[in-house]
Every structure is written in C-alpha cells, then in structure tokens.
Amino acid sequence: MSTLKAGDKAPQFELMDQDEQKVSLADFKGERLLIYFYPKASTPGCTVQSCAVSEAQADFASAGIRTVGISPDKPAAQKKFDNKYGLGFPLLCDTDHRVAEAYGVWTEKSMYGKKYMGILRSSFLVDAKGNIENAWYKVSPKDTVPNALGAS
C-alpha cells in the first residue's frame, strides 16, 4: 500500500453522494478540502467521526475548509446515515473502492482471526491547488476534526 504525503497531488475522484449527485475533487478547486474515509455508515466509530465533522462545520468554514466523507456504502445507506444524524455535507460512495485504493486506505484488515479488505480510517487535507496538505492514516474517529483544525 503506497501512502500519500504532504506535497503530493491529491488523486482525482468523481463519486456519487448520498443524493445520487456526482461530486468530484475538481468541484473544490480553489478551496481547501477535508476528505475523510470511514469503513461503514451508521457503525459506532463512523457515527462518532461523522457527527464530529458535522458539529465542526462552522469551525471548518471559518478556517476555509469544506468537507466530504467517503466510504464503500451505496447512496441509500449514505442517505439513511445523513438523515438519521443530520450530517449535512457530502457523503461519497466509493463502492468499488478505487478512490480508497488511490489514497492508500484500502487495506487488509483482520477481525477475530479472519482477514478481509476494508477501509483504513484516514483523513486528508487538500490545499486550494489540489495538493495534499496533510495526510493522517489509521486515525481514531475522534481525531479527524482536531487534526484538520490544528493544521489550519
């Protein structure tokens, strides 16, 4: 698994959001963007992480940062997650995990001795020129917001 670091060009993407609208990295050209990857909508850690990002939207706006979450979930699951918690920002559907692979977060995991492929919870701050400003791999759900705001 290759990882991204500060100064690298952010991999381009175009994915459907929870409202089945196409969202691409290019949509945020000229703006800073927090991209965070989470394993599965409506699971405990992902809920903590996504609600924290939602609650910090005013702080992100003050810092000039937009936000998107990305998981392998389908639009219907993302929509249900957004509606249940009132998240209010794009939740993108990387069902074939191509974007996760490009960002180096699709990796082998293990649970109860069983190995499987899944998302390594990670986040990236992309600068206004489309370059990685900061990359945080294997983060705790509660660290996404402080990491991004601390980098501002």
- Helix (H) / strand (E) element for 36: namely strand 32-37
What confidence score (pLDDT) does residue 111 get? Answer: 83
Q: What is the pLDDT of residue 118?
A: 94
pLDDT digits (tens, 9 = 90+) for 57-99: 999 999 999 999 999 999 999 999 999 999 999 999 999 999 9
Average pLDDT over residues 104-130: 94
Whether residue 24 has pLDDT greater than 90:
yes
Of 10, 46, 105, 126, which one is the catalytic site residue?
A: 46
Indicate if the pLDDT at residue 127 is higher than 70: yes
What local confidence, expressed as pLDDT, does residue 152 receive?
Answer: 63
Tens digits of residue pLDDT in 25-69? 999 999 999 999 999 999 999 999 999 999 999 999 999 999 999
- Please determine, for residue 1, whether its predicted confidence score (pLDDT) is greater than 80: no
Are 150 and 65 spatial neighbours (Cβ–Cβ below 8 Å)? no
- CA 123/CA 138 separation, integer angstroms: 9
Give all domains of the chain, ordered by start, each with its CATH number.
14-150 (3.40.30.10)
**Residues 115-126: pLDDT tens digits?**
989 999 999 999
Token pair listed for 4: 């991204």
Mean pLDDT of the chain: 96
- List, in order, residues 6 or more apart from 148 with CB less than 8 Å away: 34, 60, 65, 123, 125, 134
Task: Let me know if 46 is a catalytic residue.
Answer: yes
